[in-house]
Structure 1
Amino acid sequence: MKSKIGVVCLARKTFDFKAAEEIFKSKVEELKKIDYVDFKIYDELVIDVEDLERVYENIKEIDGLIIISGTFHLGHLAISLQKKYKVPILLWAFNELPYDGGKIRLNSVCGLNLNASNLYKSGVDNFHYVIGERVDEDWLKAINMKKAISDSKIGILGNRAHGFFNLSVDELNLFGNSGTIVDYYQLNELYDLAKNADEKVYEEEISKVYEVSSISKEQLKKVSKLTYALKKFLDEKKLAGVAIRCWPEFAGDYGISPCAAMSYLQAKGYITGCEGDLEGTLSMIAAKAASNKTPFLADLSQVDLEKDETLLWHCGVAPANLWDGKSNRSLDTYFAGGKGVTADFVLKEGEITILRIDSARGKTRVFAEKGKAFEMEKLLKGTYAKVKFEKPVKDVLDRLITNGIAHHVAMVYGDYYRTYKIFAKIMNWQFLG
């Protein structure tokens, strides 16, 4: 899913607009090499208010707008563009050129300052800025996050898990804040799809991905059928993700828990959240949009204050493609009285960032932290990574607990902390980082 980003370059003929035009052309060529957004570029300089009509004819619906101050320019231009498009804005100024005859040639930064002041004083807060040779790609990724959640329809299968009151969400407030639509479905819909599924479609492939000697043939058959059913359900309902009430009744009613099927499908690009956690599922969608990588919805578990590390763990639902390549990647029945059928493996090493979109007391917050996952032995059931955060784990935990953040976070590999911070500002949500 690519966001559409408009690009315009403003200038004034009292400055070296020809030089600005040459720089702009070179930047356009650089932008075209970025493949995760769709740029809508007006390739002429915008100098007068009358020029804006041609901009509007060429650039239609967009998700974000880059306003380049090629030189200093009229103050009318940026606020008119904001009024027309009403989307998040990136203000971009070029570095000043060497003086030519004792005259400032671009005065680009001053133009950016003018635009920022005009926007702020008119009540617009969702702008960001960059000064220099390159566009701010963290802003581009943040726009992808906004588009992903605003275009999302998320399903809840069976409501939240029993007693997890903190996962409840005001759906209309969420829609008003983000554009996300939520629909509820009954678990029986999934069970019925699974009963009529051909288990052979996925049975062989699942047996290749996981070591399955610890589960029965009947359990493997149920995993395969459920994998088929869950994929069909997501595809037919056209859902960006689904939050599943995976306990307490799922294993009893269907015969196994959905963890293994969720682990397999997430590695194929599907988003499935545990325990009916809608905002956790939304966090996964947003994290994937920022990174184009597979997210893992985890508990912040087994915190060791002395070693300053924690375990990002869940009972066995991590995407199979996050496996460390060393531990035994298997399916196990330790959970739900032998009916669990969860995935078991250690996650790979590497830089990670966690994200949680979380609402409370009428506010939506964005919690984020970055760190590193380290090698560890497979000593536990479930799926997990040993993590050391950039900040002391005591401080991370304190920030989570004192702000009442729910107990699931979306983890992806890579550093997206700054992207998440920009995303929070774009959305006008509180950033807890």
Structure 2
Amino acid sequence: MAESPRVLFVPVASKLHEPRGLQRSLALYKKSLEDLAAGAASIVTDPSGARALTRDVDAYIVAVLTGGVESTLLEIGMRGIPVALVAHPARNSLAAAVEAASRLRKDSFPARVFLLRDGVREDLIAFARAARAYRMLAGSRVLLIGDPSPWLVYSSTQAKELERVFGLELEKAGVDELLRVASAVPDSVIEELERELESVGATSVESRNLKGSLRLYVALREILERGSCNAATVRCFDLIERGCTLCLATSMLNDRGYAIGCEGDLPALLTMMVLMEVSGMPAFIGNVAWIEGTRLLLAHCTVPTKLVERFTLKTHFESGIGVAVQGFPRKGSRVTVARLDAARRTIRAGVGTVLNNGPIEEDLCRTQFLVELSSRVEIIVSNPAGNHYVLVLGDWLEPLEHFSEMVGFRFEALS
């Protein structure tokens, strides 16, 4: 899960301008922006200087000190690292920034122009968070255990497009492999995990079922680490046929910074990865259970415990077996809800307020979030983008908008 974005501050200027004037302009940037970056480059005056910049960053914040630097800006942007071109109102700075950004965007490089004025600092923080997610996803190794569940008739069609857009490396394993690794977990490891759960009073399920769920947690973590994967989605209903559930393991791994999705839903898993990276917090994946006006009800049998006020363990909703996690939301919390749709190259997202602090409906999955958004949400059914939506605490719309732009997706606001 998210580290702080690594940003390099890069001042760029033409050789034609006299040094004292450049230093006055540079001072304006440093006052507002320099401490956002992990480091700062010397003033870059030509494309060769741009080629010498480190690539070991998530974003470049470029202070466009003068005009006449379009070729240098192109060289920076064509390195493939998201670039924020920050212009000021003198020395033809903005003219150079918009010309260079136009070419970079035409050629599908992630670039955006910002103006050096009040509020730019917060805008750049959002941009840097999006850049961190963009860089993290590129080449990520994602574990698929089993094929998507048969009812995901739309979401299951998007794997190739997601691989292409994000450069994912998809590693595949079977449910039998997960069970084999689980069977070899030492009893001593399971007993220690049981004691941790007992300490929070959450072990109101059969001991046999709890031990089985904890074995799956240890096994899935081992397979992830062995494959250097930071995310996984599992055809989890195949485990139910074997008498066990993955809901508790999913919760525990999400709490520990892994993105773990359900039912083999790859678009929802990618949504989780993006939201976890921009927010630095675990994410909840839920079924669209109901909509009414501006209200959206999401439900599932797992939730990261860090997202809720308290939790208890129950059996799985549909099957009545195994272990599920029933979370009690923090009523009044602000949350972001989102869904990535690779087929239509769209990210749909909104911000709302949680209205409940416990289950609303008995005939739904164990954890339920009722969210009040600021506008009507009929688009979820009138123009559906798949079932599972993802929720995190906080307002992350601005980073999601930047991320959408970076990957060439359309941003669609739910609020």
Give the TM-score normalised by structure 1. Answer: 0.84
Structure-2 residue corresponding to 1:295 = 283
Contact 2:337 2:391 in 1 (8 A): yes
Counterpart CA distance in 2 for 1:117 and 1:164 is 39
Quickly say closer, same or farther: Cα 1:60–1:40, change in 2 above 3 A.
farther
The one of 357, 361, 384 aligned to 2:340? 357
Give aligned-pair identity as a percent.
Answer: 21
Asked if 1:231 is matched to 2:211, the reply is no
Contact 2:339 2:349 in 1 (8 A): yes
Write the deviation string for residues 379-420 of structure 1: whole angstroms up to 9, x where unpaired.
Answer: 44511222101222xxx232x334431111121111111211
Written as runs of structure 1 = structure 2, the 5 A alignment for 1:316-335 is 316-325=301-310, 329-333=311-315, 335=317
Residues 169 and 359 of structure 1 are in contact (CA less than 8 Å); yes or no, is this contact kept in structure 2? no
Partner residue of 1:222 out of 202, 205, 212 = 212
1: distance between equivalents of 2:287 and 2:259?
Answer: 17
Does residue 386 of the first structure (1) align with residue 370 of the second (2)? yes
Amino acid at match of 1:268: R
Between the aligned partners of 2:103 and 2:342, the Cα distance in structure 1 is 31
RMSD of equivalent CA atoms: 2.4
The equivalent position to 1:130 in structure 2, one of 114, 131, 154, is 114
SS in 2 for 1:294: coil
Consecutive unaligned residues in structure 2, runs of 5 or more? none
Question: Superposed, which structure 2 residues align to 1:343-422 within 5 Å?
Answer: 343-349=325-331, 350-360=333-343, 363-379=344-360, 380=362, 382-392=366-376, 396-398=377-379, 400-422=380-402
Instruction: Specify which of 271, 278, 285 is matched with residue 273 of structure 2.
Output: 285
- Give me the whole-angstrom Cα distance separating, in 1, the residues matched to 2:385 and 2:396: 19
Indicate how the Cα distance of structure 1 residues 275 and 8 shifts in structure 2: closer, same or farther if over 3 A, else same. same
For 2:263, what is the secondary structure of its paired residue? helix
CA deviation after TM superposition for structure 1 residue 118, in Å: 4.7
Contact 1:368 1:417 in 2 (8 A): yes
| Whole-angstrom CA distance in 2 between matches of 1:75 and 1:267 | 45
The match for 1:109 is 94
Q: How does 1:62-141 map to 2 (within 5 A)?
A: 62-83=57-78, 85-94=79-88, 96=89, 106-119=91-104, 123-124=107-108, 126-133=110-117, 134-135=120-121, 136-141=124-129
SS of 2:352's equivalent? Answer: strand
Larger deviation, residues 159-168 vs 409-418: 159-168
CA contact (8 A) 2:351 2:373 kept: yes
Within the alignment, does 1:207 sit opposite 2:205 as a pair? no
For residue 8 of structure 1, give the secondary structure of its aligned residue in structure 2: strand
SS in 2 for 1:276: coil
CA 429–234 in structure 1, closer or farther in 2 if over 3 Å, else same: same
Residue 221 of structure 2 aligns with an amino acid whose one-letter code is: K
TM-score, with length taken from structure 2? 0.87
- Post-superposition offset of 1:241: 0.9
Q: Show CA shifts across 1:164-198 (max 9, x none).
A: 21221444432221111112211011111221212
Q: Secondary structure at the match of 1:285?
A: helix
C-alpha distance 270-77 of structure 1, shift in aligned 2 (>3 A): closer
Aligned residues: 397
Aligned to 2:13: 11
Distance 1:123 1:272, change over 3 A: closer
The DSSP-based 3-state class of the residue aligned with 1:299 is strand
Say which is worse superposed, 21-30 or 127-136, in terms of deviation: 21-30
Contact 2:5 2:132 in 1 (8 A): yes
